[in-house]
Copies of this chain bind each other. A is one copy, B any other.
């Protein structure tokens, strides 16, 4: 019989469907491999094809927008939101709107077109996390921004428009709804229990073991109890901390090591799947230190979202997290 499960943070229910049970071989997998592209604007040597860089790491000597870098951050050429202007909040009868003020940047994770987060070495992945931190610290100074989201679309099925490995940062003038629900849910748990709900999850998953995929001294990878999607994986720092950008350097190193490990396991078990990677951190303007706990979510794109999910926000997952965790534990590379 199928099971309805409730996420302890957001209160969102999901259906773990045994009737429609799917194992890795049952998915219509689209293997992601960066197709060669002589005109890729993100390749080393093509710096003139992008907007001027905001940050570069690893370059010695030569000036900005020249080769020699190991990581570059640039403004998005087609930004969703712009830094220039004023919010100009206004009503339109019943409706409310404001100008699209924000920031939209792209982190080019490697100078080489064929690299992915799964093939980059640990130091290079750590550098990516460090660049995220640097950019968030800088963007936070703009008092108009209430939330800064870091995410990655890997593969066309996950929404990537370019094959070259990159992530995006968007600074928003509002706290979006999913974030609001998660932060409020964590706050509710804290008010009742005086404990962080993510710390509670870590403790229970560590003792239980069925949904634990891998871990190191600082970070644990778990299949969440009520996942929306097959093989959804959370990477949780073991030490309580609400903001990603305030983590100590050694936690980025530990996260980089575990992240590369998990992505290689997914590549092996799910044949190089498209995925979204999301960094969940507290809103920049809120004192969520006691009750929110930053973490990383990886969502392999293995199924299509259909009418039922759009209508209800209620997800149908054909793979239990216990089975997904077992598959990924066994897929050690």
List residues of A whose CB falls within 8 A of some B CB.
1-6, 8, 10-13, 15-20, 78-82, 85, 92-100, 147, 149, 151-153, 156-160, 168, 170, 172-174, 176-179, 181, 197, 200-201, 204, 208, 225-226, 276-278, 280, 297, 299, 304-308, 310-314, 316
Contacts and interface: CB of A to CB of B under 8 A. Distances in A.
B11 A277 contact: no
Contacts of A152: 307
Contacts of A93: 204, 208
Contacts of A6: 95-97
A8 to B, nearest CB: 5
17 contacts: A1-B99, A2-B80, A3-B98, A4-B97, A8-B94, A8-B96, A10-B177, A11-B177, A13-B177, A17-B80, A19-B79, A20-B78, A80-B308, A92-B225, A159-B306, A168-B307, A278-B311
Given A15-B80, A85-B1, A312-B177, A201 B306 contact: no
How many monomers of this protein are in the complex?
A: 2
Nearest to A100: B2
A306 B158 contact: yes
A177 B314 contact: yes
- CB-CB nearest 9 A-B residue pairs: A159-B306, A2-B100, A178-B313, A151-B307, A176-B312, A276-B307, A176-B314, A278-B311, A177-B313
A311 to B, nearest CB: 4
A149 B15 CA distance: 15
A147 B92 CA distance: 33
Contacts of A1: 82, 85, 99-100
Most buried by B among A200, A307, A310: A307
A226 B13 CA distance: 26
Contact of A178 (B4, B98, B151, B311): B311
B313 A176 contact: yes
Contacts of A276: 306-307, 310-311
